[in-house]
Amino acid sequence: MRTNINKRRIVQIEETIAETPTVKTLVFKDSLSYSAKPGQFLMIWIPRIEEIPMSVMINSKEGYAAVTIRKFGFGSTALFERKKGDLIGLRGPYGKKFTIRKNCKKILIIGGGTGLVPLLRLVSYISKKKIKSTIVMGARTKEEVFFEKLTRKIIDETGSLLIVCTDDGSYGIKGSTVSVMSKLVRDDTFDCVYTCGPELMMKGVVELSNQNSLPVQASLERYMKCGIGICGSCCLDSSLVCQDGTVFNEKQLSTMLDFGISYRDKDGRKVNYA
């Protein structure tokens, strides 16, 4: 099994979907990625350019999967620019998944940016399980909202609710995901909270969950080289995000002194979040 996921597959990009001017989804065929668990990620090789971790995005076709990239630095921009027919390499999926307790009936999902990728796989999963959810999607501004249509399609007829919010109010509710969440948890009851997105946002979500005694799981990001627990570059306190995470629960998060405070740079030095 492990040998299996570690073996690099070379896949062809079969479709590209422009989500926003800076976010793109690349679709490819790969059975291991197709059956990835919500929260798992791939190491994506952009030949002779970079290898970067990417959450596994869902795709409607059987046997297919995708990645959704925000154009950012060197590697992500190169990946963003790959076209239909180009080859990329994959290994994984790696990491722990979001877990759902047995008698969980209603969950709250808070995501921002490409943090929505693992959350959508979760939404898709729970929709099949008939678990209801309220999904809060945050973006800075209207142009940066994506996955809305796709999410509506997935939750269609499930009784789940999608709330979009933007910092500048140009679309959906005005305000941050955390402020939306604070209203939601006041007015409604949830069994668990799931979050992925910018770390400071997640920090807010986790604190709010703790204050409301809600179990919470967050999928964290750290700089990753190996993805398999060798290099240590992804360490966060005494955890390896690639192996022990990326999904951590409220108990694990409570012991992480650096969560929401600092991350380690490519050379391993700690850098504080702005």
Ligand X SMILES: Cc1cc2nc3c(=O)[nH]c(=O)nc-3n(C[C@H](O)[C@H](O)[C@H](O)COP(=O)(O)OP(=O)(O)OC[C@H]3O[C@@H](n4cnc5c(N)ncnc54)[C@H](O)[C@@H]3O)c2cc1C
What are the C-alpha distances in Å from 131 to residues 14, 155, 220, 265?
A: 32, 10, 24, 39
* The token pair that represents 43 in the structure block: 């190491």
The whole-angstrom separation of Cα 7 and Cα 268 is 27
Backbone angles phi, psi at 85, to 5 degrees: 95, -20
* The token pair that represents 169 in the structure block: 């109010």
Q: Quick one: which segment of 112-120, 172-180, 234-242, 264-272 binds ligand FES (CB under 6 A)? A: 234-242
Q: Taking the complex as a whole, how short is the minimal distance between the CB of residue 65 and ligand X, in angstroms?
A: 12
* The token pair that represents 236 in the structure block: 């966060």
Q: Identify residue 106 by its one-letter amino acid code.
A: K
Beta strand spans in 2-100 (E) = 9-12, 15-20, 23-29, 41-46, 50-55, 64-70, 87-94
The SS3 of residue 193 is strand
C-beta closer to ligand FMN: residue 43 or 116 = 43
C-beta closer to ligand FES: residue 159 or 229 = 229
What is the per-residue burial (b if ≥16 Cβ within 10 Å, else e) of 197-229?
Answer: bbbebbbbbbebbeeeebbbbbbbbbbbebbbe
Using rule CB under 6 A, residue 33 touches ligand X = no
Q: Taking the complex as a whole, how short is the minimal distance between the CB of residue 72 and other proteins, in angstroms?
A: 14
> Considering CB distances under 5 to 8 angstroms, the limit depending on partner class, which of ligand FES, other proteins, ligand X, none binds residue 205?
none
Q: Taking the complex as a whole, how short is the minimal distance between the CB of residue 242 and other proteins, in angstroms?
A: 10
Using rule CB under 6 A, residue 55 touches ligand X = yes
> Considering CB distances under 5 to 8 angstroms, the limit depending on partner class, which of other proteins, ligand X, ligand FES, none binds residue 82?
none
Of the candidate residues 231, 249, 262, 264, the single one contacting ligand FES (CB under 6 A): 231
Q: Taking the complex as a whole, how short is the minimal distance between the CB of residue 230 and ligand FMN, in angstroms?
A: 5
Give contact residues for ligand FMN (rule: CB under 6 A). 230-231
> Where on the chain is the footprint of ligand X (CB under 6 A)?
41, 50, 52-55, 67-70, 72-77, 114, 117, 221-224, 246
